[in-house]
Amino acid sequence: MRTQVAIIGAGPSGLLLGQLLYKAGIDNIIIERQSAEYVLARIRAGVLEQVTTDLLDECGVSKRLHQQGLVHDGIELLFKGARHRIDMRTLTGGKTVTVYGQTEVTHDLMDARKAEGLTTIYDAGDSVTLHDFEGTRPKVRYVKDGQAQEIECDFIAGCDGYHGVSRASVPAGALRTYEKVYPFGWLGILADVPPVSHELIYANTERGFALCSMRSATRSRFYVQVPSNEKAEDWSDEAFWNELRARLDPQAREHLVTGPSLEKSIAPLRSFVAEPMRFGRLLLAGDAAHIVPPTGAKGLNLAASDVKYLSSALIEHYRDISSAGIDHYSERCLRRVWKAERFSWWFTSLMHKFPETGDFGQRLQEAELDYLVGSKAASTVLAENYVGLPL
């Protein structure tokens, strides 16, 4: 087979890139190691910045997003038993975020790709290998239904996540990585119960962090901070609800509706960056190149901004016969990535209980939060970062 761009990974970043390239008349094939059902079964976050919703608009896949997405003007910070609202719309000159599950984004992009008859190869398994991307004729090889297959292309886009083959294919010594692993995770539960509040509640408590989020007006997602060695199966639904209730303010406890969990899991927290993000004609995007803790809701949005830079660079290559966008791709992405890493690290450090925090550290966190909600300048910094910095 022959295509212009081979995209590794059929998650939201790979599908979004494929749709943007298709709209620009650039042929592409997506290769995914898992089944479509497996990809859709992944439970992920869903707070979308404006840059992400704009890209979905550009792809023509935002109808359900605008029908079902929940536009949020602010967030609430809970500390010392009381909630304080950050009015993002006012502080940022009208910017908001939209709550719409990543699973729904993936579903919409899959449906659009299928409707256009575009090629997506699922169930490629661990057979996918990347070749010759340091030259001008890269190749992707894989085995499907027992038959060896090869795709020749102009570029390979590595959108296959942290554990994917793309970054692992980079020659030893060509990549530098930076990583911070946090000593805790998020125990999350998905349930068909109404949200506690119409906006997200981020809680800093002496028992640890908690987050009240939602997927819709009838489905909610809740998290509590737990040690990194905890296991989800050791937590009953009742134990989870009791712990969450203990970390909320009286009003939130009163409005908390509990129910059986649809899904329960623990997400480890880490910060990770791989530099650079381009190796000849292999270009990394999204989790293949960087991971952020979920506190700042930046994971999917960072992937979307990578895809924006990458799609623009590829369109410039084919339309204008210019390599400028490709040449500067890594630099442009990493400038935004490190700002998001900084914000996610700061917000995580502010809201969570660390083993070394102690009473003194807890009081320092509370003092910083008190300053944050009382200072327009400090609140603006939080709001600007949360809704997303300009591209």
Residues annotated as catalytic (active site), given as ranges: 72, 202, 294, 298, 386
Amino acid (one-letter) located at 318: Y
DSSP label at 134? T
Q: How many CB atoms lie within 10 A of CB 64?
A: 15
Q: How many angstroms separate the first and last alpha carbons of the chain?
A: 35
User: Does residue 85 contact residue 76 with C-beta atoms inside 8 Å?
Assistant: yes
Distances (CA, A) of 382 to 43, 49, 340, 373: 26, 14, 12, 10
- HEC secondary structure over 188-251: EEEECCCCCCCCCEEEECCCCCEEEEECCCCCEEEEEEEECCCCHHHCCHHHHHHHHHHCCCHH
- The single residue listed with the structure tokens 């620009």 is 24
Helix/strand/coil percentages in the chain, nearest 5: 40, 25, 30
In this structure, what token pair is assigned to residue 228? 């990194």
* Cα diameter, the chain: 64
Residue 282's closest CA among 156, 181, 160? 156
Q: Alpha carbon of 342 to those of 170, 261, 293, 296, 311: distances in Å?
A: 26, 33, 11, 10, 25
Rounded distance between C-alpha atoms, residue 130 and residue 148, angstroms: 14
User: Alpha-carbon distance 32 to 120, whole Å?
Assistant: 8
Separation CA 115–CA 33 (nearest Å): 22
Q: Which amino acid is at 339?
A: K
* 8 Å CB contact between 5 and 155: yes
CB atoms within 10 A of CB 6: 28
Question: 202 - beta bridge partners?
Answer: 77, 211
